[in-house]
């Protein structure tokens, strides 16, 4: 972590790239191609187009409302505490499913590259991440940057070395499943297009002007970091999606990145890819668990979750709740595609809520127009999640029910309390 007010555009871009990229890139090209065939590249391109107004909107929110409060705080500012509670539950509820999905991605690569049972490897990655959080260990900022650099390098090397082997015949028939297939691919690819809200979280780290006022340097630093991230992520995503189909075909294996590296570099790439997949997956799962554990504490303090989750000086209780919620997901996890789609629906809902809040929070003018465009495009992307929208819908009902029950429990206690004096 940098000293507050000292982060520049380069460091900010590195952290933003890390927030958007993740272990999902190790498997998403195959899942998207299975849904749409070669036309999956259209889903990648469409979501990249969506990323532009979404990323710029979150950067604008960060400049005007710095402090790292997250999308839930923006939703609360625009729509009230109930909206904040729902958005918080969307993210908190997505983490047990998403972390299991991420761990299983790493396990799939371990099985393909190192010959170890993939499910066992995924469970061990997940257990190690919980243990690291329980022990109070955190991935340092430098280690996170190294992990991001490794993933970027891995994707870039895979594209550059394998691209000369592309075959245009692999792009025909181009859209065997029609527009419905492209929409289905977009639904699962949302897993790779969340994380732009991190720009608002990083806002307090950028340079400030004299007397603590945020000046042009901080504002421009955050905007430049966002633009650089858009360029880097856009090139990587388009490169990986087109090269995967061109080299491997629409019926590519479940470990496309390993297959691309092996096509370009030979068999030596296989064990290296397996080890790197474990490191990348562990880092991402560890980071999500750490953030969600603290989110649970914040929601409990705001009355959106039971107060006992906020007990103690560390988020152990919230972390324990996440562990309990993760167990049934691990036991019943039979399809990585389903896990990723459920996670994507929740995180897409979080993104949509954030840009919708920006329409009310940002001042009239160009920024608000950008937020309106981002909201409209996010609504289309959200619709691509299809039946999986039932997941955030159920979480919203649970969030509002818990919020109402907790308020009812608090009010009678205050109404019946004797005036003056202390009581338990």
Backbone angles phi, psi at 7, to 5 degrees: -80, 135
**Count of beta carbons in the 10 Å neighbourhood of residue 272:** 14
- b/e sequence 84-118, b meaning 16+ C-beta within 10 Å: bbbbbbbbbbbbbbbbbbbbbbbbbbbbbbbeeeb
Written as six digits, the tokens of 209 are 């002007």
Instruction: Give the C-alpha separation, 266 to 275, whole Å.
Output: 16
**Count of beta carbons in the 10 Å neighbourhood of residue 291:** 16
pLDDT at 155: 86
- The percentage of the chain sitting over the pLDDT mark of 90, rounded to a whole number, equals 47
Mean pLDDT, rounded, for 121-133: 90
Instruction: Give the C-alpha separation, 95 to 98, whole Å.
Output: 5
Task: For tokens 């929208």, name the residue.
Answer: 389
30 half-sphere exposure, CB direction, 13 A CA radius:
20
Backbone angles phi, psi at 206, to 5 degrees: -85, 165
Q: Which of 285, 255, 284, 283 has the alpha carbon at shortest distance from 269?
A: 255
Q: Which residue did the predictor score with more confidence, 295 or 122? A: 122
DSSP 7: B
208: left (phi over 0), alpha (psi -120 to 50) or beta: beta
pLDDT at 7: 59
- b/e sequence 362-380, b meaning 16+ C-beta within 10 Å: beeeebbebbbbbbebbee
Res. 9: pLDDT tops 80: no
pLDDT at 67: 59
pLDDT at 421: 42
Choose from 128-137, 160-169, 210-219, 405-414 the range with maximum mean pLDDT.
160-169
pLDDT band at 201 (very low <50, low <70, confident <90, very high): low
pLDDT at 56: 92
Res. 209: pLDDT tops 50: no
pLDDT at 393: 97
Q: Which of 19, 36, 376, 377 has the alpha carbon at shortest distance from 230?
A: 19
- The percentage of the chain sitting over the pLDDT mark of 70, rounded to a whole number, equals 84
Spacing of C-alpha 31 from chain mean position? 17
Instruction: Give the C-alpha separation, 63 to 199, whole Å.
Output: 9
pLDDT at 377: 93
Spacing of C-alpha 121 from chain mean position? 22
**How many residues can be counted in the chain?**
424
pLDDT of 55-111, one tens digit each?
999 988 888 877 556 788 889 999 999 999 999 999 999 999 999 999 999 999 999
Res. 17: pLDDT tops 70: yes
pLDDT at 371: 95
Q: Which of 243, 246, 240 has the alpha carbon at shortest distance from 172?
A: 246
pLDDT of 22-51, one tens digit each?
778 889 999 999 999 999 999 999 999 999
Res. 239: pLDDT tops 90: yes
pLDDT at 208: 47
Res. 10: pLDDT tops 80: no
SS3 195: coil
Mean pLDDT, rounded, for 229-235: 91
Task: For tokens 């195959």, name the residue.
Answer: 30
273 half-sphere exposure, CB direction, 13 A CA radius:
31
pLDDT at 132: 83
pLDDT at 146: 73
Q: What is the dihedral of CA 31, 34, 37, 40, to 10 degrees?
A: -20
Angle between helices 9-20 and 216-248 (to 10 degrees): 40
pLDDT of 296-341, one tens digit each?
888 888 888 988 887 765 688 889 999 999 999 998 877 889 999 9
Q: What is the pTM of this model?
A: 0.85
pLDDT at 150: 79
pLDDT band at 206 (very low <50, low <70, confident <90, very high): low
Mean pLDDT, rounded, for 264-284: 83
Domains and CATH numbers, the chain: 9-410 (1.20.1740.10)
Handedness of CA 326, 331, 336, 338 (dihedral sign): negative
Mean pLDDT, rounded, for 135-146: 61
Please list, in sequence order, all residues whose beta carbon lies within 8 angstroms of the beta carbon of residue 105, skipping any fewer than 6 positions away. Answer: 23, 24, 26, 27, 122, 277, 281, 336
Res. 214: pLDDT tops 80: no
Res. 219: pLDDT tops 80: no
pLDDT at 394: 96
Angle at 297 (CA atoms; ends 203, 91), nearest 5 degrees: 65
pLDDT at 423: 39
SS3 172: coil
pLDDT at 343: 93
> For the chain, what is the mean pLDDT?
84
């Amino acid at each position: 972590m940098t000293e507050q007010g000292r982060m520049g555009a380069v460091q900010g871009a590195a952290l933003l790239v890390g927030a958007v990229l993740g272990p999902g890139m190790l498997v998403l090209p195959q899942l998207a191609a299975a849904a749409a065939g070669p036309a999956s590249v259209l889903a990648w391109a469409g979501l990249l187009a969506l990323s532009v107004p979404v990323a710029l909107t979150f950067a604008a929110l960060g400049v005007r409302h710095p402090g790292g409060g997250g999308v839930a705080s923006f939703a609360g500012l625009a729509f009230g505490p109930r909206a904040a509670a729902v958005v918080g539950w969307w993210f908190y509820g997505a983490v047990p499913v998403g972390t299991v999905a991420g761990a299983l991605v790493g396990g799939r690569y371990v099985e393909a590259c190192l010959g170890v049972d993939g499910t066992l490897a995924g469970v061990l990655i997940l257990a190690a991440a919980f243990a690291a959080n329980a022990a109070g260990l955190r991935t340092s900022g430098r280690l996170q940057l190294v992990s991001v650099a490794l993933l970027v390098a891995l994707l870039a090397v895979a594209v550059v070395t394998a691209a000369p082997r592309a075959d245009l015949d692999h792009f025909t028939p181009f859209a065997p499943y029609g527009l419905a297939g492209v929409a289905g691919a977009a639904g699962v690819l949302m897993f790779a297009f969340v994380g732009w809200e991190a720009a608002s979280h990083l806002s307090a780290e950028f340079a400030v002007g004299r007397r603590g006022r945020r000046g042009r340097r901080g504002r421009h630093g955050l905007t430049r970091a966002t633009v650089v991230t858009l360029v880097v992520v856009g090139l990587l995503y388009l490169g990986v999606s087109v090269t995967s189909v061109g080299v491997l075909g629409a019926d590519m294996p479940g470990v496309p990145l390993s297959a691309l590296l092996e096509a370009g570099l030979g068999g030596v790439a296989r064990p290296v890819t397996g080890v790197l997949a474990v490191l990348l997956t562990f880092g991402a799962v560890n980071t999500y668990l750490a953030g969600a554990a603290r989110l649970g504490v914040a929601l409990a303090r705001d009355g959106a979750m039971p107060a006992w989750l906020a007990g103690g000086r560390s988020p152990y209780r919230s972390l324990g709740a996440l562990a309990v919620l993760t167990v049934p997901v691990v036991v019943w996890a039979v399809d990585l595609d389903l896990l990723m789609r459920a996670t994507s629906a929740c995180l897409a809902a979080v993104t949509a809520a954030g840009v919708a809040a920006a329409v009310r929070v940002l001042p009239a003018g160009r920024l608000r127009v950008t937020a309106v465009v981002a909201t409209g495009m996010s609504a289309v992307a959200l619709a691509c999640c299809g039946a999986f929208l039932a997941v955030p819908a159920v979480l919203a009902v649970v969030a509002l029910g818990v919020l109402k029950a907790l308020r009812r429990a608090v009010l009678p206690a205050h109404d019946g309390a004797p005036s003056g004096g202390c009581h338990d």
